[in-house]
Amino acid sequence: MPDITWKQRWDTTLMPTYGTPAVELVSGAGARVVDADGREYIDLLAGIAVNSLGHAHPALVEAVSRQVATLGHTSNIHAHPRVIELAEKLQELTGPDARVFFSNSGAEANEAAFKITRLTGRNRLLAAEHGFHGRTMGSLALTGQPDKRAPFEPLPGGVEFYPYGDIDALRALVEQDGRAEDTAAVFLESIQGETGVVPAPEGFLTEVRALCDEYGILMVVDEVQAGIGRTGRWFGYQVEDVVPDVVTLAKGLGGGLPIGACVAVTPAAQLMAKGHHGSTFGGNPVACAAGCAVIDTIRAEDLRGHVLDMERIIRAALEPLDAVTGVRGRGLMLGVVLDGPRPGLADAALAAGLLVNQPAPDVLRLVPPLTVTETDIRESLATIKELLS
Q: Which residues are annotated as a binding site for pyridoxal 5'-phosphate?
A: 106-107, 132, 222-225, 280
Beta pairing class for 246-249 and 260-264: antiparallel
Burial of 121 (0-12, 13-18, 19+ CB in 10 A): exposed
> Of 296, 233, 223, 259, which is closest to residue 53 (Cα–Cα)?
296
Cβ–Cβ < 8 Å for 318, 327: yes
Residue stretches of the annotated binding site for N(2)-acetyl-L-ornithine: 135, 279
* Helix 374-388, helix 303-318: angle, nearest 10: 20
Which residue pairs from 136-140 have beta carbons closer than 8 angstroms and sit at least 24 positions apart in sequence? 136/107, 136/108, 136/111, 138/110, 138/111, 138/114, 139/106, 139/107, 139/108, 139/110, 139/111, 139/114
- Answer for the pair 139, 110: CB distance below 8 angstroms, yes or no: yes
Q: Which residues make up each annotated binding site?
A: 106-107, 132, 135, 222-225, 279-280
